[in-house]
Amino acid sequence: MLQKPRGTRDFLPEEMERRRRIEGCMRETARRWGYREICTPDFEHLELFTLKSGEGIIQEMYVFEDKGGRQMTLRPEVTASVLRAYVNEGKVLPKPIRWCYFADCFRYERPQKGRYRQFWQFGVELIGADTASADAETITLADELLRTAGVTFDLQIGHLAPMKRLTQDLPPEGQRAVMAHLDKRNHAGLEQSLAEIGRDDLFEPLIGLVDSRDPAAVFEIAGDMPERSRIEELFAILDSMEISYTPNFGIARGLDYYTGMVFEAFAPNLGAENQILGGGTYRLAHLFGGDDAASSGFAVGFDRVMVSLGEFPLEKTPIAAVVSTPEARARAWEVARAFRAAGIQTEIDLMQRGLSAQLAHAAKTADYAVILGRRECESGRVTLKNLHSGTQQEMTLAEAISGVSQHGAC
RNA sequence: GCCAGGGUGGGGUAGCUGGUUAUCCUAAGGGACUGUGGAUCCCUCGACCCGGGUUCGAAUCUCGGCCCUGGCCCCA
Mean pLDDT of chain A: 92
For residue A409, pLDDT over 70 is answered with no
pLDDT for res A321: 96
Same domain? For A183 and A291 the reply is: yes
A123 and A178 in a single domain? The answer is: yes
% of residues, chain A, pLDDT over 70 = 99
Q: What is the mean pLDDT of residues A64-74?
A: 94
CA A236 to CA A245: how far, in whole Å? 12
- Numbers of helices and strands, H then E, in chain A: 15, 16
Nearest one of A276, A309, A296, A303 to A35, comparing CA atoms? A296
The terminus-to-terminus CA distance of chain A in angstroms comes to 39
Residue A8 falls within a domain, yes or no? no
Do A327 and A290 lie in a common domain? no
Domain membership of residue A4 (yes or no) is no
Same domain for A60 and A121, yes or no, is yes
Q: Are residues A195 and A296 in the same domain?
A: yes
Domain boundary among A309, A338, A359: A309
Q: Is the CB of A54 under 7 A from strand B?
A: no
The Cα–Cα gap between A25 and A403 comes to 30
Q: Is residue A6 part of a domain?
A: no
CB atoms inside a 10 Å sphere around CB A381? 17
Which of A274, A309, A344 is a domain's end point? A309
Residue A53 falls inside a structural domain: yes
> Is the domain of A297 the same as that of A333?
no
Angle at A50 between CA A44 and CA A51, to 5 degrees: 100
Same domain, A90 and A232: yes
Share of chain A above pLDDT 90, in %: 73
In terms of domains, do A233 and A368 share one? no
Q: Is the pLDDT of residue A392 over 80?
A: yes
| CA/C1' separation A347–B43 (Å) | 28
What mean pLDDT is predicted for residues A388-401? Answer: 94
Q: Is residue A36 part of a domain?
A: yes
Q: How many domains does chain A have?
A: 2
Of residues 330 to 389 in chain A, which lie within 7 A of strand B by their beta carbon? 351, 353-357, 359-361, 363-364, 369, 371-377, 383, 385, 387-389
Instruction: Please indicate, yes or no, whether residues A326 and A301 belong to a single structural domain of this protein.
Output: no
pLDDT tens per residue across span A179-223: 888 888 888 888 888 888 888 899 999 998 888 888 899 999 999
Nearest nucleotide over every DNA/RNA strand to the A73 CA, judged by C1': B76
CB-strand contact A39/B, under 7 Å: no
| Beta strands A382-386; A392-395: pairing state | antiparallel
pLDDT in tens, A20-66: 999 999 999 999 999 999 999 999 999 999 999 888 889 899 999 99
Q: Is residue A7 part of a domain?
A: no
Structural domain boundaries, residue A223: 13-309
For residues A336 and A367, membership in a common domain is answered with yes
